[in-house]
Each structure stands twice: as C-alpha cells, then as structure tokens.
Amino acid sequence: MAGMSDLFDAHPYQDRYPVQRGLPEQGRPKAEILAELREMAALENQAWETGQCSGTMYCGDLDHYAFLTEAFGLFAHQNALQRDMCPSATRFEGEIIAMALDLMHANAIEGTEPAGLVTSGGTGSILQAMLSYRDHARATRGITMPNIVKPETAHPAFVKAAHLFGLELRVVPVDPATTLVDPAAMAARIDENTIAIIGSAGNYPYGTIDPIADLSDLALARGVGLHVDGCLGGFILPFGEELGYAVPPFDFRLPGVTSISADTHKYGYGLKGTSSLLFRDKALRNAAYFYVLDWSGGKYFSPGMEGSRSDGLLASAWASLVATGRAGYRAHAQEIFATCAAMVDVVREHPQLRLVGSPTFVFAFTSDDFDIYHVADRMKTRGWRFNGLQYPDGLHLAVTRPQTRDGVVDRFRTDLADAVAYAQEQTGSAESTAIYGGIPGGLTADVSTFIESVMEQIMDAHQSVPAPR
C-alpha cells in the first residue's frame, strides 16, 4: 500500500524556510517570523479562494477574518476560566448562547429553563452532550449501562463519544434513496437503557435532514433525550427556512428536542475553535459541570471538559455573530442555496450521474455507470476538492460562500463535463477514495487491518519535521 507521505507533500516548506529541530537558543526576529507566516498563509489561501473546495472555508471573506482576528487578538491571552479577571468572557459566552438559543426558537420552550455551553467545536459539543446525557441519566434514572441510538449518517463524533464514555452505540441504517432514517427502525433499538437518540440537521454525508418531528414524538413517548446535530446546518437552515426553502422543523419548537449542537465555526462564519451546545433544560447543562473539592491546589470547578481556554475564541465567535446579524446570515444563505441549486442542475445535465438524497446546501452524487472516484481524480487536476463518500461511493460538495463567487458554477459545468467524459474512458481503478475531510488517493478504505498503520503514518507525517538531507 502507498504510504500517506506519497499521497501529498507533508513538507512543502522544508526548502523555503529553516527547519527547527529543537528550541532555538536565540529567538528569531519577530519581523522575519511574521514575514514567513504571511507567505505561508497567502500560499495556503490560494487553495480555496478559487471556490473549488467543499466546506472548510465557510466564510472565505478575508476582511471578515481580519476583523475576527482583531477581536481574537484583544482577548487571546485571557483565560475564560478566570471570570473575575475577564468578565468579558461572561458577556461573550452568555450572548453567544442567548443568540444561538434564540435562533433555535428556545422561546417555544415551556416548563424548563434553556441553557447552553460554548465548546471547542462540533466534536466538543457532541462529546459534551453525550457525557451530560450519561451523567444525568445515571443520576435521575439509575442507568449504569447506557446506550445511544444514531442513524448511520450521524457524525463519527457520536462514535467517539461512545468510545470515550463507555456508551453502547446502536446504529440504524438509512433509506438508500432518501438517506433519511426510519423512525420505526430507531424505535426498535430503544430500550430502558437508552439515554438519547440522535438526528442530524443536516448530516455531513448528504446534508439531508432526518425526520426530526417524528424522532421528537418518539423521544417523548419513550422518555429519552433527543440530540439534534445541527453542527453543520444550525447557522444556515433557519435562514433557508425564512427564505422559503423546504426545511422541515428541527429545533426547540419540537417538544422532544432536548439538545442541539450548532457550530459557530462553520456557517456561523467564526474562526475555527468554537461551537454552541444548547439544552432545553438547564438540568442537562448542569450535568456538564465538573468539580474537585479536596485538591491541594484549591477547590476546582470547570464547566464541561475543557480547562483553560482562550477568551479570544469567545470574543471572535461573538464578534462574528453580531457583525453578521440575521440580515447578513439570510443574505449569505440565499446565495449559498441558490448556488447549490445551480450546481445541482449542472449534475443533472449528466444522465450518468445520480444525486443521492435531496440536496440542501450540500449535494451528493454517485454514478451507476462508472467509478465516481475517476471524476474526483480528474476534478482534482483542475483544482477541485470534493469530500469522498462510501456505501455507495460518492462525492459531495458542501456549498460555502467561496462557491458563490462569479464564475465558479460555470467552471464546475466545464470541468464536470470533462471529468465525466474522462471517467467513461477509464478501465483501471481510481486514485481517490473516501477519507473524511479530503480525498487523498492510494488507500483501500475497506482494509480495516491497515487503518491503524495508516493513521500512524498520517500522524507521523503531520507531526514530524522533515528528514535532514
């Protein structure tokens, strides 16, 4: 098998800049360091500024990034754990939670007090939610062998939560045509040890929205929690709904929805490193608190899994929300939904391609005629970066603001036509394959016995300095 290091160059800077193999005795001049960093950032921005990368740079507006970075810089050195010294963290966190709750219609909540947390990202929100369900269910229902039930399409962060927190994970298959989970199939997997069921709005592979209203009824009938994963869709679907797109209800207006994750660092257009986790009932938020009272270092409390964290992240997430505003989010959503529809029309021009599920701001497609990864291979040579899917093999593009720029849809039309023609001629196997976050080639994803060694290679490559030569 090809080593990961053959698949892309992990060290493109080794000839350009000095390689640091240990802490330098004398510090380098700051101006020189900043010049290097500016050069690297400019090079890396070239990869997505074309509008040809799925997801990742949700905003893509360098002025907005500069504004957020200024907000970050003012508070980056402050510790959000020390609220006596930085009450700004309280203003930012409280208002981020209030704004996210408002967006998720927490005003519809009756009988409980809604609350939230700001976490380190989508995974942080999902892990914290599952930990809260576990500890709350242990305290209130005496559950010691907890399980969670998720549609197959729900994010691997739920698998990670099960792994880390000793939860049994029950996975329910989805309908291959609609990609949605069948509530009756979810119901069949719930038992007296179920702490929460999960639905996505929308899921990562297809961007489709599970039947959350039915899952809400199910959660209420069976007395279990319902976490809605709005990490991806939380800050765009509400505006799609306002614009008249067919967005089924998925938020706190549904009485069975007990928690929602919505990432400020995706369609909230914030810097990487924040997400909101929202609870219908403060009791679940309170289960996230951790404390040690008898430590020599003093009585220790932390809200959630993290210890010290930068107030700068809170400041920049807050700044993104208040600078964009509802009107800004709505305008960006309008362009994104319209661009997605235009790109979907381009896919429909090719009878050899088949859309999977009904597109929202994400569209996914496969082919029944050829290996779709040949399309990815060819598109890659034109600068396109799709995300690879499997079961069935497919490609998706999460449409973001860089795609809404002039000319991107036309380039997509030209390059896709060329890639389909190319794919039809291929007889061998494709190079690209399905890896989350990108589609490097040369791996056989099914060969699970190799995965651990592949991960070691990836980590070695990502965390190494180049070999001397």
CB 372 within 8 A of CB 380: no
Between 397 and 430, CB nearer to ligand PLP: 397
Interacting stretch for ligand PLP, rule CB under 6 A, among 75-83, 228-236, 290-298, 337-345?
228-236
Indicate the SS3 state at residue 281.
Answer: coil
CB of 275 to ligand PLP, least distance (A): 6
Between 128 and 367, CB nearer to ligand PLP: 128
CB of 200 to ligand PLP, least distance (A): 5
Interacting stretch for ligand PLP, rule CB under 6 A, among 99-107, 110-118, 200-208, 370-378?
200-208
Phi, psi of 388 (to 5 degrees): -90, 140
CB 247 within 8 A of CB 237: yes
Q: In degrees to the nearest 10, what's the CA dihedral of 417, 420, 426, 431?
A: 100
Structure tokens at 219: 């959660």
Which listed residue (64, 150, 155, 280) binds ligand PLP by CB under 6 A?
155
CB of 30 to ligand PLP, least distance (A): 31
Distance (Å, rounded) from C-alpha 207 to C-alpha 202?
5
The CA angle 438-442-446, to the nearest 5 degrees, is: 85
- Maximal CA-CA distance, the chain: 70
Is residue 157 close enough to count as binding ligand PLP by CB under 6 A? Answer: yes
Which listed residue (229, 251, 311, 393) binds ligand PLP by CB under 6 A?
229
Between 203 and 316, CB nearer to ligand PLP: 203
Which listed residue (123, 367, 400, 433) binds ligand PLP by CB under 6 A?
123
Interacting stretch for ligand PLP, rule CB under 6 A, among 109-117, 119-127, 236-244, 314-322?
119-127
Is residue 415 close enough to count as binding ligand PLP by CB under 6 A? Answer: no
Cα-based distances in Å from 371 to 368, 382, 430 = 8, 18, 7
Strands (E), 336-445: 353-355, 362-367, 387-389, 394-398
Element (H, E) at 191: none
Is residue 210 close enough to count as binding ligand PLP by CB under 6 A? Answer: no
Indicate the SS3 state at residue 26.
Answer: coil
Which listed residue (65, 75, 204, 329) binds ligand PLP by CB under 6 A?
204
Q: Which residue is nearest to ligand PLP (CB)?
A: 122
Stretch 34-53: interaction string toward ligand PLP, x if CB under 6 A: --------------------
Is residue 151 close enough to count as binding ligand PLP by CB under 6 A? Answer: no
Is residue 340 close enough to count as binding ligand PLP by CB under 6 A? Answer: no
Is residue 150 close enough to count as binding ligand PLP by CB under 6 A? Answer: no
Cβ-in-10-Å burial (0-12, 13-18, 19+) of 411 comes to: middle
Is residue 122 close enough to count as binding ligand PLP by CB under 6 A? Answer: yes
Cβ-in-10-Å burial (0-12, 13-18, 19+) of 253 comes to: middle
Between 122 and 256, CB nearer to ligand PLP: 122
Residues that bind ligand PLP (CB under 6 A): 121-123, 155, 157, 200, 203-204, 229, 231-232, 263
